[in-house]
Protein backbone atom coordinates (compact mmCIF):
# COMPACT_ATOMS: atom_id res chain seq x y z
CA UNK A 1 0.00 0.00 0.00
CA UNK A 2 2.07 2.99 -1.30
CA UNK A 3 1.54 6.71 -0.91
CA UNK A 4 2.98 9.08 -3.60
CA UNK A 5 4.66 6.09 -5.27
CA UNK A 6 3.94 3.58 -8.03
CA UNK A 7 5.68 0.44 -9.26
CA UNK A 8 6.57 -0.10 -12.98
CA UNK A 9 9.32 -2.62 -12.40
CA UNK A 10 10.86 -0.16 -9.96
CA UNK A 11 9.36 2.18 -7.36
CA UNK A 12 8.98 5.82 -8.58
CA UNK A 13 7.62 9.04 -7.16
CA UNK A 14 4.06 9.78 -8.30
CA UNK A 15 4.50 13.51 -7.58
CA UNK A 16 7.01 15.81 -6.03
CA UNK A 17 7.35 15.17 -2.24
CA UNK A 18 7.77 12.34 0.31
CA UNK A 19 6.79 8.75 -0.28
CA UNK A 20 5.71 5.96 2.09
CA UNK A 21 4.70 2.36 1.77
CA UNK A 22 3.00 -0.30 3.97
CA UNK A 23 2.74 -4.04 3.42
CA UNK A 24 1.32 -6.98 5.35
CA UNK A 25 2.29 -10.56 4.57
CA UNK A 26 2.15 -13.80 6.57
CA UNK A 27 1.25 -11.87 9.74
CA UNK A 28 4.20 -9.45 9.39
CA UNK A 29 3.46 -5.72 9.12
CA UNK A 30 6.11 -3.52 7.46
CA UNK A 31 6.40 0.26 7.04
CA UNK A 32 8.82 2.08 4.69
CA UNK A 33 9.49 5.77 4.06
CA UNK A 34 11.56 7.77 1.57
CA UNK A 35 12.84 11.38 1.50
CA UNK A 36 11.24 14.07 -0.67
CA UNK A 37 11.84 13.47 -4.38
CA UNK A 38 10.81 14.48 -8.00
CA UNK A 39 7.88 12.91 -9.81
CA UNK A 40 8.98 10.00 -12.03
CA UNK A 41 12.33 9.56 -10.32
CA UNK A 42 13.24 6.29 -8.61
CA UNK A 43 12.35 5.97 -4.91
CA UNK A 44 14.79 4.53 -2.36
CA UNK A 45 12.68 3.24 0.51
CA UNK A 46 14.05 2.60 4.02
CA UNK A 47 12.26 0.08 6.18
CA UNK A 48 11.34 2.17 9.25
CA UNK A 49 9.26 -0.24 11.36
CA UNK A 50 8.36 -3.93 11.41
CA UNK A 51 5.79 -5.70 13.55
CA UNK A 52 6.57 -9.38 13.40
CA UNK A 53 4.03 -12.15 13.58
CA UNK A 54 5.09 -13.06 17.17
CA UNK A 55 4.42 -9.47 18.34
CA UNK A 56 8.04 -8.21 18.40
CA UNK A 57 8.34 -4.62 17.19
CA UNK A 58 11.45 -3.35 15.36
CA UNK A 59 12.12 0.38 14.87
CA UNK A 60 14.84 1.46 12.45
CA UNK A 61 15.69 -2.13 11.49
CA UNK A 62 14.16 -4.96 9.44
CA UNK A 63 13.74 -7.53 12.23
CA UNK A 64 13.39 -7.60 16.00
CA UNK A 65 15.58 -9.50 18.44
CA UNK A 66 13.50 -8.38 21.45
CA UNK A 67 9.89 -7.54 22.21
CA UNK A 68 10.82 -3.91 21.47
CA UNK A 69 13.96 -3.42 19.36
CA UNK A 70 15.18 0.10 18.46
CA UNK A 71 18.10 1.00 16.18
CA UNK A 72 18.85 4.47 14.81
CA UNK A 73 21.25 5.92 12.36
CA UNK A 74 24.81 6.57 13.48
CA UNK A 75 25.48 10.04 14.83
CA UNK A 76 22.08 10.76 16.33
CA UNK A 77 20.54 10.44 19.77
CA UNK A 78 18.13 7.55 19.99
CA UNK A 79 15.37 8.42 22.44
CA UNK A 80 13.47 5.34 23.42
CA UNK A 81 10.82 7.18 25.42
CA UNK A 82 10.05 10.73 26.42
CA UNK A 83 7.55 11.87 29.00
CA UNK A 84 6.95 15.61 29.34
CA UNK A 85 4.52 18.02 30.93
CA UNK A 86 2.71 19.63 28.02
CA UNK A 87 5.19 21.36 25.75
CA UNK A 88 7.71 21.94 28.55
CA UNK A 89 10.62 19.64 27.70
CA UNK A 90 12.61 20.92 30.66
CA UNK A 91 10.51 18.65 32.89
CA UNK A 92 10.24 15.00 32.01
CA UNK A 93 11.92 11.64 31.52
CA UNK A 94 13.93 10.53 28.48
CA UNK A 95 15.63 7.16 27.95
CA UNK A 96 17.92 6.35 25.02
CA UNK A 97 21.42 6.22 23.55
CA UNK A 98 23.86 9.08 23.13
CA UNK A 99 24.79 10.39 19.68
CA UNK A 100 27.76 8.75 18.02
CA UNK A 101 27.92 6.02 20.64
CA UNK A 102 29.89 2.86 20.14
CA UNK A 103 27.32 0.73 21.91
CA UNK A 104 29.42 0.52 25.06
CA UNK A 105 28.48 2.76 28.02
CA UNK A 106 26.56 5.19 25.79
CA UNK A 107 23.07 4.63 27.23
CA UNK A 108 21.37 7.45 29.08
CA UNK A 109 18.33 8.07 31.24
CA UNK A 110 17.53 11.71 31.97
CA UNK A 111 14.97 12.69 34.58
CA UNK A 112 14.55 16.46 34.59
CA UNK A 113 12.42 17.52 37.57
CA UNK A 114 11.55 20.83 39.18
CA UNK A 115 9.88 21.64 42.49
CA UNK A 116 6.15 21.95 41.97
CA UNK A 117 3.53 21.99 44.73
CA UNK A 118 5.95 20.65 47.36
CA UNK A 119 7.13 17.62 45.31
CA UNK A 120 10.69 17.46 44.08
CA UNK A 121 13.34 15.24 42.54
CA UNK A 122 13.28 11.61 41.52
CA UNK A 123 10.93 9.51 43.63
CA UNK A 124 10.68 5.71 43.72
CA UNK A 125 7.60 4.06 45.16
CA UNK A 126 6.54 0.49 45.84
CA UNK A 127 3.03 -0.48 46.86
CA UNK A 128 2.03 3.19 46.83
CA UNK A 129 4.68 4.06 49.45
CA UNK A 130 7.80 6.10 48.79
CA UNK A 131 10.95 4.02 49.25
CA UNK A 132 13.72 6.30 47.97
CA UNK A 133 14.31 9.64 46.25
CA UNK A 134 16.96 11.95 44.83
CA UNK A 135 15.98 15.47 45.81
CA UNK A 136 16.55 18.67 43.88
CA UNK A 137 19.89 19.20 45.67
CA UNK A 138 21.25 15.84 44.55
CA UNK A 139 20.84 14.09 47.93
CA UNK A 140 19.98 10.37 47.87
CA UNK A 141 17.39 9.49 50.53
CA UNK A 142 16.34 5.94 51.43
CA UNK A 143 13.49 5.41 53.87
CA UNK A 144 13.22 9.13 54.63
CA UNK A 145 12.16 12.37 52.91
CA UNK A 146 14.42 14.66 54.95
CA UNK A 147 18.01 15.18 53.86
CA UNK A 148 20.87 15.90 56.27
CA UNK A 149 23.69 14.80 53.96
CA UNK A 150 24.31 13.54 50.44
CA UNK A 151 23.33 9.98 51.46
CA UNK A 152 20.65 9.42 54.10
CA UNK A 153 19.47 5.89 54.95
CA UNK A 154 16.76 5.46 57.61
CA UNK A 155 17.35 1.74 58.13
CA UNK A 156 20.19 -0.76 58.38
CA UNK A 157 22.42 -1.21 55.35
CA UNK A 158 23.67 -4.59 54.16
CA UNK A 159 26.86 -5.42 52.29
CA UNK A 160 26.52 -8.38 49.88
CA UNK A 161 23.17 -9.84 48.94
CA UNK A 162 23.26 -13.19 50.77
CA UNK A 163 20.71 -12.85 53.55
CA UNK A 164 22.49 -15.46 55.68
CA UNK A 165 26.01 -14.05 55.31
CA UNK A 166 26.41 -10.29 55.12
CA UNK A 167 27.71 -7.17 56.76
CA UNK A 168 25.35 -4.69 58.44
CA UNK A 169 25.56 -0.95 59.15
CA UNK A 170 22.75 0.64 61.12
CA UNK A 171 21.72 3.70 63.13
CA UNK A 172 19.82 3.46 66.40
CA UNK A 173 18.03 6.77 66.75
CA UNK A 174 16.87 6.13 70.33
CA UNK A 175 20.42 5.44 71.53
CA UNK A 176 22.06 7.81 69.04
CA UNK A 177 24.68 5.29 67.99
CA UNK A 178 26.09 3.84 64.79
CA UNK A 179 26.30 0.04 64.80
CA UNK A 180 28.35 -2.34 62.67
CA UNK A 181 27.59 -6.04 62.63
CA UNK A 182 27.55 -9.25 60.65
CA UNK A 183 25.29 -12.17 59.93
CA UNK A 184 27.37 -15.33 59.67
CA UNK A 185 25.54 -18.54 58.69
CA UNK A 186 22.26 -16.95 59.81
CA UNK A 187 23.67 -16.05 63.27
CA UNK A 188 23.36 -12.31 63.82
CA UNK A 189 26.04 -10.19 65.47
CA UNK A 190 24.38 -6.80 65.14
CA UNK A 191 26.61 -5.09 67.71
CA UNK A 192 30.04 -6.31 66.64
CA UNK A 193 31.09 -2.66 66.83
CA UNK A 194 29.25 0.56 67.70
CA UNK A 195 30.11 4.25 67.84
CA UNK A 196 28.40 6.73 70.14
CA UNK A 197 29.46 10.22 71.27
CA UNK A 198 32.93 9.57 69.87
CA UNK A 199 33.33 6.38 71.94
CA UNK A 200 34.01 3.09 70.14
CA UNK A 201 32.72 -0.21 71.58
CA UNK A 202 33.98 -3.44 69.99
CA UNK A 203 32.66 -6.93 70.72
CA UNK A 204 29.86 -5.98 73.09
CA UNK A 205 26.23 -4.87 73.09
CA UNK A 206 26.82 -2.18 75.72
CA UNK A 207 24.92 0.98 74.84
CA UNK A 208 27.48 3.32 76.37
CA UNK A 209 30.82 3.42 78.16
CA UNK A 210 32.08 5.71 80.90
CA UNK A 211 35.57 7.12 80.61
CA UNK A 212 36.52 4.74 77.78
CA UNK A 213 37.21 6.26 74.37
CA UNK A 214 37.82 2.76 72.96
CA UNK A 215 36.34 -0.31 74.67
CA UNK A 216 37.28 -3.76 73.31
CA UNK A 217 35.52 -6.72 74.88
CA UNK A 218 35.54 -10.43 74.08
CA UNK A 219 34.52 -13.66 75.77
CA UNK A 220 37.66 -15.52 74.73
CA UNK A 221 40.84 -15.12 72.71
CA UNK A 222 42.95 -11.98 72.18
CA UNK A 223 41.21 -8.63 72.67
CA UNK A 224 43.44 -6.62 70.36
CA UNK A 225 45.81 -7.83 67.65
CA UNK A 226 48.25 -5.61 65.77
CA UNK A 227 49.90 -6.99 62.65
CA UNK A 228 52.37 -5.32 60.33
CA UNK A 229 54.72 -6.33 57.54
CA UNK A 230 57.37 -4.47 59.53
CA UNK A 231 57.65 -3.94 63.30
CA UNK A 232 54.18 -3.10 64.69
CA UNK A 233 54.03 -0.10 67.01
CA UNK A 234 51.25 1.32 69.16
CA UNK A 235 51.82 4.98 70.01
CA UNK A 236 50.00 7.21 72.51
CA UNK A 237 49.87 11.00 72.32
CA UNK A 238 48.39 13.63 74.56
CA UNK A 239 46.60 16.22 72.41
CA UNK A 240 48.91 16.70 69.43
CA UNK A 241 50.34 14.24 66.93
CA UNK A 242 53.91 14.77 68.09
CA UNK A 243 56.24 11.77 68.06
CA UNK A 244 58.76 13.66 70.24
CA UNK A 245 56.26 13.62 73.15
CA UNK A 246 54.67 10.21 73.29
CA UNK A 247 54.62 6.72 74.73
CA UNK A 248 54.85 3.71 72.45
CA UNK A 249 54.78 -0.07 72.58
CA UNK A 250 57.00 -1.85 70.05
CA UNK A 251 57.45 -5.39 68.81
CA UNK A 252 60.75 -5.98 67.02
CA UNK A 253 60.42 -8.88 64.55
CA UNK A 254 60.19 -11.56 67.22
CA UNK A 255 63.37 -10.42 69.01
CA UNK A 256 62.11 -7.92 71.60
CA UNK A 257 59.07 -6.23 73.08
CA UNK A 258 59.46 -2.74 74.49
CA UNK A 259 57.58 0.07 76.21
CA UNK A 260 59.16 3.43 75.51
CA UNK A 261 58.52 6.99 76.67
CA UNK A 262 59.69 10.00 74.65
CA UNK A 263 61.25 12.09 76.16
CA UNK A 264 62.63 9.92 79.00
CA UNK A 265 59.90 9.64 81.63
CA UNK A 266 59.25 7.02 84.32
CA UNK A 267 57.00 4.09 83.49
CA UNK A 268 54.58 3.73 86.41
CA UNK A 269 52.40 0.72 87.23
CA UNK A 270 49.28 1.24 89.34
CA UNK A 271 46.37 -0.74 90.77
CA UNK A 272 43.19 0.94 92.04
CA UNK A 273 44.84 4.25 91.14
CA UNK A 274 47.71 3.60 93.55
CA UNK A 275 51.32 3.35 92.42
CA UNK A 276 52.87 -0.08 92.98
CA UNK A 277 55.99 -0.14 90.81
CA UNK A 278 57.93 2.18 88.55
CA UNK A 279 60.89 2.16 86.20
CA UNK A 280 62.61 5.54 86.70
CA UNK A 281 63.72 7.47 83.63
CA UNK A 282 67.34 6.98 84.70
CA UNK A 283 66.89 3.19 84.86
CA UNK A 284 66.44 0.56 87.57
CA UNK A 285 63.27 -0.75 89.14
CA UNK A 286 61.56 0.92 92.07
CA UNK A 287 58.90 -0.90 94.14
CA UNK A 288 56.72 0.92 96.61
CA UNK A 289 56.29 -2.06 98.96
CA UNK A 290 57.35 -5.68 98.38
CA UNK A 291 58.23 -7.73 95.34
CA UNK A 292 58.25 -11.53 95.12
CA UNK A 293 60.10 -14.28 93.29
CA UNK A 294 59.24 -17.89 92.58
CA UNK A 295 55.53 -17.11 92.21
CA UNK A 296 55.28 -16.26 95.90
CA UNK A 297 52.57 -13.90 97.13
CA UNK A 298 54.18 -10.57 98.00
CA UNK A 299 53.96 -9.62 101.64
CA UNK A 300 51.30 -7.04 102.41
CA UNK A 301 53.45 -5.33 105.03
CA UNK A 302 56.70 -3.43 104.91
CA UNK A 303 59.02 -3.36 101.93
CA UNK A 304 61.36 -6.05 100.65
CA UNK A 305 61.58 -9.30 98.69
CA UNK A 306 59.22 -12.22 99.33
CA UNK A 307 60.51 -15.73 98.55
CA UNK A 308 58.25 -18.81 98.26
CA UNK A 309 57.58 -20.84 101.42
CA UNK A 310 59.25 -23.84 99.76
CA UNK A 311 62.63 -23.02 98.31
CA UNK A 312 63.01 -23.18 94.53
CA UNK A 313 66.71 -24.00 94.45
CA UNK A 314 68.85 -22.54 91.69
CA UNK A 315 71.95 -24.24 90.28
CA UNK A 316 73.48 -20.84 89.53
CA UNK A 317 76.14 -19.93 92.06
CA UNK A 318 75.32 -16.23 91.78
CA UNK A 319 71.59 -16.55 92.41
CA UNK A 320 70.00 -15.90 95.80
CA UNK A 321 67.11 -18.34 95.78
CA UNK A 322 65.80 -18.26 99.37
CA UNK A 323 65.34 -16.06 102.41
CA UNK A 324 63.36 -16.89 105.50
CA UNK A 325 63.01 -15.68 109.08
CA UNK A 326 61.25 -17.63 111.82
CA UNK A 327 61.22 -19.27 115.23
CA UNK A 328 61.96 -22.75 116.46
CA UNK A 329 61.54 -24.54 119.79
CA UNK A 330 64.75 -26.05 121.10
CA UNK A 331 64.75 -29.05 123.46
CA UNK A 332 67.61 -30.25 125.71
CA UNK A 333 68.72 -33.88 125.92
CA UNK A 334 70.46 -35.59 128.86
CA UNK A 335 67.46 -34.97 131.14
CA UNK A 336 64.29 -36.73 132.12
CA UNK A 337 61.12 -34.90 133.17
CA UNK A 338 62.70 -31.59 132.19
CA UNK A 339 60.86 -28.28 132.65
CA UNK A 340 61.63 -24.80 131.34
CA UNK A 341 60.86 -21.22 132.14
CA UNK A 342 62.22 -20.16 128.73
CA UNK A 343 62.47 -22.31 125.59
CA UNK A 344 62.80 -20.11 122.48
CA UNK A 345 64.75 -20.01 119.27
CA UNK A 346 64.95 -17.78 116.19
CA UNK A 347 66.53 -18.33 112.81
CA UNK A 348 67.45 -16.52 109.61
CA UNK A 349 68.04 -18.52 106.43
CA UNK A 350 69.83 -16.81 103.51
CA UNK A 351 70.27 -19.11 100.55
CA UNK A 352 71.83 -22.28 101.98
CA UNK A 353 73.17 -20.63 105.15
CA UNK A 354 71.18 -20.76 108.42
CA UNK A 355 71.89 -18.71 111.51
CA UNK A 356 70.15 -19.88 114.69
CA UNK A 357 69.83 -18.36 118.17
CA UNK A 358 68.83 -20.52 121.13
CA UNK A 359 67.70 -19.67 124.67
CA UNK A 360 66.72 -22.28 127.27
CA UNK A 361 66.25 -21.81 131.02
CA UNK A 362 65.78 -25.17 132.75
CA UNK A 363 63.79 -25.06 135.98
CA UNK A 364 63.70 -28.75 136.87
CA UNK A 365 64.34 -32.31 135.85
CA UNK A 366 66.68 -35.23 136.44
CA UNK A 367 70.11 -35.33 134.84
CA UNK A 368 70.86 -38.62 133.06
CA UNK A 369 73.79 -40.25 131.33
CA UNK A 370 72.23 -39.62 127.91
CA UNK A 371 74.05 -37.34 125.44
CA UNK A 372 73.77 -33.64 126.18
CA UNK A 373 72.23 -32.35 122.94
CA UNK A 374 69.97 -29.55 121.71
CA UNK A 375 67.25 -30.87 119.43
CA UNK A 376 64.90 -29.50 116.75
CA UNK A 377 67.02 -27.16 114.62
CA UNK A 378 64.73 -25.56 111.97
CA UNK A 379 66.57 -27.12 108.99
CA UNK A 380 68.55 -30.34 108.48
CA UNK A 381 72.24 -29.61 108.15
CA UNK A 382 74.38 -30.51 105.15
CA UNK A 383 76.23 -33.81 105.06
CA UNK A 384 79.59 -32.06 105.37
CA UNK A 385 78.64 -30.18 108.57
CA UNK A 386 80.03 -30.74 112.10
CA UNK A 387 80.61 -27.02 112.46
CA UNK A 388 80.73 -25.06 115.71
CA UNK A 389 78.84 -22.24 117.34
CA UNK A 390 79.45 -19.55 119.90
CA UNK A 391 78.17 -19.25 123.45
CA UNK A 392 76.18 -16.23 124.46
CA UNK A 393 75.72 -17.36 128.04
CA UNK A 394 76.13 -20.71 129.74
CA UNK A 395 75.17 -20.90 133.40
CA UNK A 396 75.44 -24.29 134.97
CA UNK A 397 76.99 -25.98 131.94
CA UNK A 398 80.45 -26.17 133.48
CA UNK A 399 81.92 -29.26 135.16
CA UNK A 400 85.16 -28.95 137.10
CA UNK A 401 86.98 -31.19 134.68
CA UNK A 402 85.30 -29.85 131.50
CA UNK A 403 85.13 -26.09 131.50
CA UNK A 404 82.76 -24.37 129.10
CA UNK A 405 81.57 -26.99 126.54
CA UNK A 406 82.09 -26.70 122.83
CA UNK A 407 79.21 -26.74 120.33
CA UNK A 408 78.95 -29.02 117.27
CA UNK A 409 76.27 -28.88 114.56
CA UNK A 410 75.93 -32.53 113.66
CA UNK A 411 76.04 -33.52 109.97
CA UNK A 412 72.77 -34.38 108.19
CA UNK A 413 70.87 -33.75 111.40
CA UNK A 414 68.83 -31.21 113.34
CA UNK A 415 70.87 -31.51 116.55
CA UNK A 416 73.64 -29.63 118.36
CA UNK A 417 75.98 -31.68 120.59
CA UNK A 418 77.77 -30.24 123.63
CA UNK A 419 81.38 -31.50 123.70
CA UNK A 420 84.20 -31.62 126.23
CA UNK A 421 87.65 -30.29 125.44
CA UNK A 422 88.67 -33.63 124.03
CA UNK A 423 85.75 -33.61 121.59
CA UNK A 424 83.66 -36.15 123.41
CA UNK A 425 79.93 -35.68 123.81
CA UNK A 426 78.94 -34.66 127.32
CA UNK A 427 76.17 -36.37 129.25
CA UNK A 428 73.47 -34.74 131.33
CA UNK A 429 75.29 -35.88 134.51
CA UNK A 430 78.30 -33.77 133.49
CA UNK A 431 76.35 -30.58 134.28
CA UNK A 432 77.07 -29.07 137.67
CA UNK A 433 73.42 -28.05 138.17
CA UNK A 434 69.98 -29.40 137.32
CA UNK A 435 68.79 -25.91 136.35
CA UNK A 436 71.21 -24.68 133.68
CA UNK A 437 70.71 -21.66 131.40
CA UNK A 438 71.88 -22.25 127.83
CA UNK A 439 72.14 -19.35 125.36
CA UNK A 440 74.10 -19.74 122.09
CA UNK A 441 74.15 -18.85 118.40
CA UNK A 442 75.37 -20.98 115.52
CA UNK A 443 75.68 -20.82 111.75
CA UNK A 444 75.50 -23.86 109.48
CA UNK A 445 74.79 -24.83 105.87
CA UNK A 446 71.97 -26.94 104.50
pLDDT digits (tens, 9 = 90+) for 288-311: 899 999 889 998 898 889 999 888
Q: What count of residues does the chain have? A: 446
Lowest mean pLDDT among 44-58, 176-190, 372-386, 431-445: 176-190
Main-chain dihedrals φ then ψ at residue 429, nearest 5 degrees: -70, -10
Whether pLDDT at 110 is above 70: no
The average confidence (pLDDT) of the chain is 82
Measured CA to CA, the distance from residue 301 to residue 55 in angstroms comes to 100
The beta-strand segments (E) located in 267-426 are 267-271, 274-279, 286-287, 290-292, 304-306, 323-328, 331-332, 335-350, 353-367, 373-375, 389-395, 406-409, 416-419
Q: What is the pLDDT of residue 34?
A: 92
CB atoms within 10 A of CB 19: 23
Terminal-residue alpha carbon distance, the chain? 130
Q: What is the pLDDT of residue 236?
A: 79
Main-chain dihedrals φ then ψ at residue 428, nearest 5 degrees: -60, -35
Interstrand relation of 233-236 and 214-216 (parallel, antiparallel or unpaired): unpaired
413 pLDDT tier (thresholds 50, 70, 90): very high
Taking the domains of the chain in order of start, what are their residue ranges? 2-70, 78-153, 171-216, 233-262, 266-300, 326-445
φ/ψ region of 400 (left if φ > 0, alpha if ψ in -120 to 50, else beta) reads alpha
Q: Mind listing the pLDDT tens digit for each residue in 340-349?
A: 999 999 999 9
Q: Mind listing the pLDDT tens digit for each residue in 146-189?
A: 888 998 888 777 777 676 777 888 877 777 888 888 777 767 66
3-class state of residue 38 by DSSP: coil
Q: Mind listing the pLDDT tens digit for each residue in 307-334?
A: 998 888 899 989 999 999 999 999 999 9
Measured CA to CA, the distance from residue 440 to residue 429 in angstroms comes to 20
Q: What is the pLDDT of residue 207?
A: 64
Angle at 128 (CA atoms; ends 96, 117), nearest 5 degrees: 75
Q: Mind listing the pLDDT tens digit for each residue in 242-296?
A: 667 778 888 887 788 888 888 888 999 999 999 989 999 898 999 989 999 988 9
Q: Which residue has the higher pLDDT, 229 or 79?
A: 229
Amino acid sequence: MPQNAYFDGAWRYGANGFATRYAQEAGVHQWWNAPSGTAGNAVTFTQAMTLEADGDLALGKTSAGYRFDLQGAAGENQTLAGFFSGTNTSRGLTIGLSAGGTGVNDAFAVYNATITGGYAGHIWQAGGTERARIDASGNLLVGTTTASSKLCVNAEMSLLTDGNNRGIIGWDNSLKRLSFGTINASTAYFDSMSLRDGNLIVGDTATSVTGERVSIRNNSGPQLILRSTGDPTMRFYNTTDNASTSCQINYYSGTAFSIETIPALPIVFLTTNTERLRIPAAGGVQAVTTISVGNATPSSSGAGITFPATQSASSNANTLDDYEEGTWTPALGGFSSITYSAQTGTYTKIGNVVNVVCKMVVTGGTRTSADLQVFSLPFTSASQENSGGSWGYGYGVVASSVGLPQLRINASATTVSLLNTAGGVLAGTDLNTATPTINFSATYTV
